[in-house]
Amino acid sequence: MPAPAVVKRSNNHLVPRPNEGVWPGLATPAHSAARARIAESLFRGAVKNLPVRVVFPGGERLGAGGPDSPVMRIVRPAAFFHRLGCNSKIGFGESYMVGDWTTTNLADLLTPFAAKLSTLIPPVLQRIGRRFAEARQPKEEVNTVEGSRENIHRHYDLSNDLFSIFLDETMSYSSAWFADGSDDLVDAQHRKIDGILDMAGVTEGKHVLEIGTGWGGLAVRAAQRGARVTTLTISAEQAVLAEERIEAAGLSDRVQVLLRDYREAQGSYDAVVSVEMIEAVGVAYWPTFFAALDRLLKPGGKVGLQAITMPHDRMLVSQNDYTWISKYIFPGGVIPSVAAVEQNLADHTGLRVAERRSLGPDYARTLAHWREHFLGRWEDVAALGFDETFRRMWEFYLAYCEAGFRVGYLDVHQFSLARR
């Protein structure tokens, strides 16, 4: 498969674009027409019982939704079904990016689809699709040390200014943990960070290793507790802003930011923390990642690990898929299951899960906040050089993930890991 088409933005970073060969109005091969007909038949069968309303240009309507149900308007049916026929796991999102279909509330529309995601396509056709799928993970996206740096660069180095527009003041790009009766995102992010630091036993005088710096929010909070922090990132953009934020907090003497892969980490630490970084590791490197946690942790220490998860059976089915999220948002990313975490700990470490909590509904709320901020400040995003296709791509990403957490197809867990 050819590499995804990209367009260079004014901030000198590359953002993937839908392949030009499937843009509306272009000629399609004969076999693609047959695939499009099959895709249309499957789509019609899948949506007829969903609580949505699908509206075609001529007025035809599908779906079991009532007057208050979300509406999906198919603007260009031929292009839409062609994309689905080329690759359903990528084409559905691509078709939204270029305007083949639209809706007034994307998250509400995607939620019924997410609830039926495992049954929308019959199992036999899923197996056939995986066997003959055109989209495969490019070799350069495999999470070697160099591959991981490039994968992270494509997402996290888009623009610090972009992320600052839709994240809260803590610059936390991970699930918050809301207190009962509160919808304050800043408070919820502090609560999340404190929760994972508590699970790792981070207190005054401890030396903490953080794998995945982000923009420094957790490192600052740990240092404010009196800990000394060594934090690792492979995002050059994040490292620069994290150091600025740490200096502004007056904590540069307590926090060291290293541009370093977890596989290159050295030393021995009282506690190790990692928040939503494991999703970028890749199945083949899970043993290496967990072994690194074990190697870097002092006797008697604890690990605080926050990870997006999915049901184990779905993980086994999807772990080798190349999806829209893989192509456009998180190249090389794979979401583990709780069982996969536990099995890797048992097979490759002397650690065990001592405590865990689920924050899945909190992630849906977090994503809703991000999506509202992103869309509400679109003019500021556009001023950075991002275009309308990027807006629809980012909106689809945030809404698609929100829908997954709403219905439990996705979850997120905080784990406390201790020696067996």
Dist. CA 286–CA 299, nearest whole Å: 22
Percent residues over pLDDT 70 in the chain: 86
Per-residue pLDDT band for 136 (boundaries 50, 70, 90) equals low
Please tell me the chain's helix, strand, coil percentages from 3-state DSSP, rounded to the nearest 5: 50, 15, 35
Side-chain half-sphere of 288: how many Cα atoms within 13 Å? 14
Q: Which pLDDT tens digit goes with each residue over 326-377?
A: 889 988 889 999 999 999 999 999 999 999 999 999 999 999 999 999 999 9
Annotation marks residue 401 as catalytic: yes
Q: With 80 as the cut, is the pLDDT of residue 247 above it?
A: yes
* 343 contact partners, CB below 8 Å, separation of at least 6: none
pLDDT in tens, 82-92: 998 888 889 99
Residue 411, C-beta contacts closer than 8 angstroms, at least 6 positions apart: 308, 309, 310, 358, 359, 360, 363, 405
CB atoms within 10 A of CB 119: 10
* H-run or E-run covering 135: none
Q: Which domains occur in the chain, in start order?
A: 5-136 (no CATH), 141-419 (3.40.50.150)
Bridge-based pairing of strands 53-55 and 5-8 is unpaired
Alpha-helical runs (H) found in 139-253: 145-156, 160-166, 185-199, 217-224, 236-248
Quick check: 298 and 328 in contact, CB under 8 A? Answer: no
Compute the mean pLDDT over every residue in the chain, rounded to the nearest whole number. 88
Q: Which two structure tokens, joined as six digits, stand for 64? A: 């079991």
Residue of 401, 403, 417, 418 marked catalytic: 401
**pLDDT band at 319, cuts 50/70/90?**
confident
The residue that leads in pLDDT, 61 or 138, is 61
Write the CA distances from 141 to 3, 235, 369, integer angstroms: 11, 16, 30
Closest C-alpha to 275, from 233, 228, 307: 307
User: Is it the case that residue 128 has pLDDT exceeding 60?
Assistant: no
How does pLDDT run across 139-196, given as a tens digit for each residue?
Answer: 667 777 777 767 667 777 788 999 999 999 999 999 999 999 999 999 999 999 999 9
76 Ramachandran zone, left/alpha/beta (phi>0; psi -120 to 50): beta
Report the pLDDT value the prediction gives residue 178, as an integer from 0 to 100.
Answer: 98
Higher-confidence residue: 316 or 117? 316
Strands 53-55 and 255-259: unpaired
**Mean pLDDT along residues 66-89:** 93
pLDDT digits (tens, 9 = 90+) for 191-214: 999 999 999 999 999 999 999 999
Q: Is the pLDDT of residue 3 over 80?
A: no
CA dist 12 → 157, 247, 276, 393 (Å)? 10, 27, 27, 19
The pTM assigned to this predicted structure is 0.90
Q: How far apart are CA 367 and CA 89, in angstroms?
A: 21
Residue 32: predicted pLDDT? 79
pLDDT score recorded for residue 292: 98
Burial pattern 141-178, b for ≥16 Cβ within 10 A else e, equals bbbbeebbbbbbbbbbbbbbebbebbbbebbbbbbbbb
Confidence band for 135, pLDDT divided at 50, 70 and 90: low
State how far the Cα of 171 lies from the Cα of 186, in Å rounded to an integer: 9
Name the strands in the sheet holding 207-211, side by side, starting at the edge strand that comes first in the sequence: 255-259, 228-233, 207-211, 269-275, 297-309, 411-419, 351-358
Whether the pLDDT of residue 10 is over 50: the answer is no
